[in-house]
Structures are given as structure tokens and as C-alpha cells.
Structure 1
């Protein structure tokens, strides 16, 4: 019996493939600095940000030095808030919550998710919200999934996990979770609902 549906955040609940893309694209647009320059400056810090070893505040100076530009760190909050939500996916999550608990499992920095949880009201819909930077484990290992199932009080085979990375779907399945790949380029919610129904999830009649 399925009891909990877990969603990835970026690329599933949002229409951007990653948080880095959202953040750096905004910084490029507002500053005029080339996206490639920003990627080169912030890229070396990505793994540490996602694992919670550093914050954006701690790496900001080093990134600015690397690109030879001085950026106002206040732009970071604006960049976080530029995250484009996938409104039809959120509607599906609300629908599913009528019969299941719904949560989030995401590889993300702590400061970004802390801010988005507040400004987007994520905690009013999703519980638990499990963030790689908080648990020190990414979706490259099973630990973050075990943390999520433990927080939800369910066994892996009582969960469905939706992600836009096929590698992450395989990792979840290896643990015993039911997992569905969502092609974020197509964002085909009807196909996703069909896949959920095949797993025994009651989606119900709903038009998007």
C-alpha cells in the first residue's frame, strides 16, 4: 500500500532543471556577467553547498574574486525567489494530499531551501522536506532516501518518488521505493498520473 509520495524539487516542482541554473541565470541577467563566467566561479563550490559544508555567504567572496567582479550578495535572495514553480505539478501534489502524505527529497543548499520554504509556503503542503545540505547526503547514496522514509514513518515500499533524473530514480528503486522518472522537458502531467495509477496510487479525476 502506498502511503507517501515524495517529489524532487528542482525539475519537478519547478520548471528549471536545477537550482544552480535558476540562481546563476538570475545573477547573469541582473549583473550583465556572462553565465559561463558565473558557472566557472561558483561551480567549484557546488558540491560543498549541496552537502551543507558551506553556505553561499561563506563562498560569495571567493566566487567574486574568481570572476573579478563584485556582486551585491543581496541579489542572492532575489535569485532564490526567481525560482519558477511548476504550477500543474503543485496542483497534483495538492490533489494527492487528499489521500496520501506528500514530501520533498532534494539535493539543495540549506540557505536556498530555508528561504524558499518560507516564501513559497512549502511546509504548508509538504512534510517531510528532506534537504541534502541538512542531512549531509545527496541522492547519489541511499542515506537521504532512508532519512526521508524514517521522517515520514513509512517503509521504502510504501513510497513513491518522482524525479527528473533517471539515476536518482534507479537509486530509489534499488532501496525498494517505487520511483517514477518525470521528463521535465515534456512536463507531461497526464503521463505522470498514468504512471502513478499503474503503481496503485489513487489520483482521481482531475483536469490540468
Structure 2
């Protein structure tokens, strides 16, 4: 029996494929800079940010230097706030919770970004646990992040579904005994996902 459904964040609970896209797109528009230039300025720091080895505040002077612009740090918080929630996926999570199934998040993400979004999108009201790579110092390439999530959920791997828009991450979860599902963020067919959860696991559609 499935007791818990874990969701990836960006590309599943949001309508942007990655958080980096969301952040860089907003900053580019706000600063009047080309998107690819902003992405190039962030790229050298992304790995360290995702693993918690650096904060955005620490990286910001270097990013601004690369851009040749002294941008206010507030723009970064505004970029976090611009993250587009995937309303149908949130609705699915609410239906699961109402039916007695747990819902959690496992995400390769930056601590400060998710901390802000927990407040802006009230994530804690719906998802528990929320497991963030930067808080643990490891990504979904490591089984440790999945084991941490299972321990916090109090569930065995076979009792859990994990939904991710990266097929490799879904496969890694499956290899650990979870029921990994690859979600195509380009299609964003949440009704089809809900139907599959109902058909394959008896979960509410």
C-alpha cells in the first residue's frame, strides 16, 4: 500500500523546468540584461549553491561582477517570489492528503530559495517532509537524500511514490525501492498522472 507521495519541486510543483530558469529569467528582465548572460554568470556557482557549499548572498558579488552591474540583492528575492506554482499539481497533492496519504518534497535546490518559497507558497501546510539538497549537502545523485526523506516520513521505500521531471532521478528512486515516476514537464499532463496513480496504486485521482 502506498502511504506517501514525494514530489520534486521545480518542473513538477512549478511550471518552469528548473529553478535556475525561473531565477535567471526574472533577473534578466528586471535588470534589462540578456537571459543567456545572466545564466552564464550563475552557472559557475550553481553546483555549490545546490549542495549548500555557498549561499546566494555569498555568490552575489561575484555574479554582479560577472554581469558588470551592481544589482540589489532584493532582486534575487523577487526572483524567488516569481516562481510559478503548478496549480493542478498542488491540487493533486491536496487530494492525496485529504485521502490520508502523506505528501512530501525531495528537491535539488538552494536553501535560501526554498526557505523563501516555503513562506510565499505556504509549502509546509501541504508537504512534510521537505527535503532540500543544500540542507543535506547531497543531491539526488546520492541515495542519502532519498533515505533521509524515507526516515523523516516514517515509511519504507516500497510504500512511497516519487515523481520527478528528470528521468534519471526517477530511475534512481526506483533502484532504491521507491516507485519512481517520470513526469514530462513539457506536457504537464497532471490528469494523466493522477489517473496513473489511481490505476497503479489505488490513490485518489
Shared fold, TM over 0.5: yes
Q: Which moved more, 1:59-68 or 1:164-173?
A: 59-68
Alpha-carbon distance, 1:198 to partner: 3.3
Paired with 1:193 and 1:149, the residues of 2 have a C-alpha distance of: 22
What's 1:120 paired with? 121
Question: Please, what TM-score do these two structures have when normalized by structure 1?
Answer: 0.96
What's 1:53 paired with? 53
Alpha-carbon distance, 1:194 to partner: 2.3
Q: Which moved more, 1:60-69 or 1:10-19?
A: 60-69
Alpha-carbon distance, 1:201 to partner: 3.3
Structure 2's unaligned 5+ residue stretches are: none
Paired with 1:7 and 1:202, the residues of 2 have a C-alpha distance of: 15
- Aligned positions of 1:164-179 closer than 5 A: 164-179=165-180
Q: Runs (4+) of structure 1 moved beyond 2 Å?
A: none
Question: Please, what TM-score do these two structures have when normalized by structure 2?
Answer: 0.97
What's 2:137 paired with? 136
Alpha-carbon distance, 1:68 to partner: 1.5
1:108–1:132 Cα contact (<8 Å) kept: yes
1:171 partner SS: helix
Q: CA RMSD in A?
A: 0.9
1:180–1:195 Cα contact (<8 Å) kept: no
Structure 1's unaligned 5+ residue stretches are: none
What's 2:159 paired with? 158
- Aligned positions of 1:68-87 closer than 5 A: 68-87=68-87
